[in-house]
Structure 1
Amino acid sequence: MSDKVSFEAVRSGFIEKSGLISQAEGLPRIAGRVFGLLIFDGEMVSFGDLATRLQVSRASISSSIRLLEERGLIKRMTKPGERQDFFQLAPNPYATMLEGIQKRTQSTRDDIADTIASLPSDADAVERLKEYADFYASLDSAVAVALQELTNARNKPASKQPQTSKDKSK
């Protein structure tokens, strides 16, 4: 197997896995595939090229792009002299993902707290609801730690970044 074939197989596999990950998280598979392509290729890609490269309809690309833009994961760009839109990863999309998770976690915890507050303190369900709220409070704390670690890693000088297994083999 040539390097070109194996590279394309790895690329295609990553893009498909990204789609499956997104689908497992409740998002459309195509949105995950778009995100995966932008991560892997690391370049601006036109709307039409996204449809062609992923072999999906322009309508599917349009709805996926809209969803990814709303979540702050990709950014719409233009090129002088070009009539079509281009897309690339937004700055720091992974922190944006964690911030979204944190916001949803906090909202859920607050909803549970509202339910607890509306019940008499001796209600049978209060203790179970408190445990449920505590679960979301713990999740919120864990996401805050992950967000801080991601921020710290981004702010480290390049020479102090941990080596990947690929870097170590050089």
Structure 2
Amino acid sequence: MTVRNQTEVREEFIERIGLISQNDGLPRIAGRVLGMFMFDGGVRSFGEITEKLQVSKASVSSATRILEDRSLIKRVGRPGQRQDYFQLVDNPFPEMLENIAAGLKKSKAEVDESFAQIDPENEGAIARVGHYVKFYETLIAMAETAAASLAQQK
């Protein structure tokens, strides 16, 4: 197996994480920032992030705020520096799963609301939608169990 140019591998990884994040409802730039931190590690200044990803300061500001709110990156201080610095949290994956579980819970609540309004005599709809409720219950339980498991692996 030949080793690929690591600059290309890095760029492809960052872009893939951006696309995956976009599919999950996050801004693509937030995913790219997360991908950069996962691939590169370390601490980056706000300016370095804008430079490395070649995106606007406003985009980086929004992206870092979202990632901080989701506890995936954290702001760190540097003595004598006025600029903000960020790094990936030690183990972001349990938090990612908790965010997924929270989204699933919101979706399940919507399904539950509809389920509660189905005429009890409509047995077919009760059965089908009831299976859909169980589907969400199962996904939520799996995400929460996986998050707890990953949290123990710190």
Given the two structures, how large is their TM-score scaled by the length of structure 2?
A: 0.87
Residue number in structure 2 paired with 1:27: 26
Residue number in structure 1 paired with 2:132: 132
For 1:111-150, what aligned pairs fall within 5 Å after superposition?
Answer: 111-123=110-122, 125-150=125-150
What percentage of aligned pairs have identical amino acids? 43
1:1-170 to structure 2, matched below 5 A, reads: 6-123=5-122, 125-152=125-152, 154=153
TM-score, normalisation: structure 1: 0.79
- Unaligned residue ranges in structure 2 (runs of 5+): none
Matches of 2:99 and 2:25, distance apart in 1: 14
Q: Which amino acid aligns with 1:135?
A: F
* SS of the residue 1:84 aligns to: coil
Q: After TM superposition, give the deviation of residue 15 of structure 1 in Å.
A: 1.1
4+ residue stretches of structure 1 with deviation over 3 A? none
User: Which range moves more in the overlay, 72-81 or 121-130?
Assistant: 121-130
CA shift for structure 1 position 67: 1.2
Distance 2:18 2:109 in 1: 31
In structure 1, what is the Cα distance between the partners aligned to 2:82 and 2:151?
Answer: 36
- Give distance in 2, aligned partners of 1:119 and 1:14: 46
Aligned residues: 151
RMSD of the TM alignment (CA)?
A: 2.0
Task: Compute the displacement of 1:81 (Å).
Answer: 0.3
CA distance in 2, matches of 1:96, 1:148: 10
Alpha-carbon displacement from aligned partner over 1:80-137 (angstroms, at most 9, x marks no partner): 1000100111232110010111122123223322332234422463222212111101
Higher mean alpha-carbon deviation, 141-150 vs 95-104, is at 141-150
Question: SS of the counterpart of 1:125?
Answer: helix
**d(CA) in 2 for partners of 1:113, 1:10:** 44
Shift of 1:144: 2.8
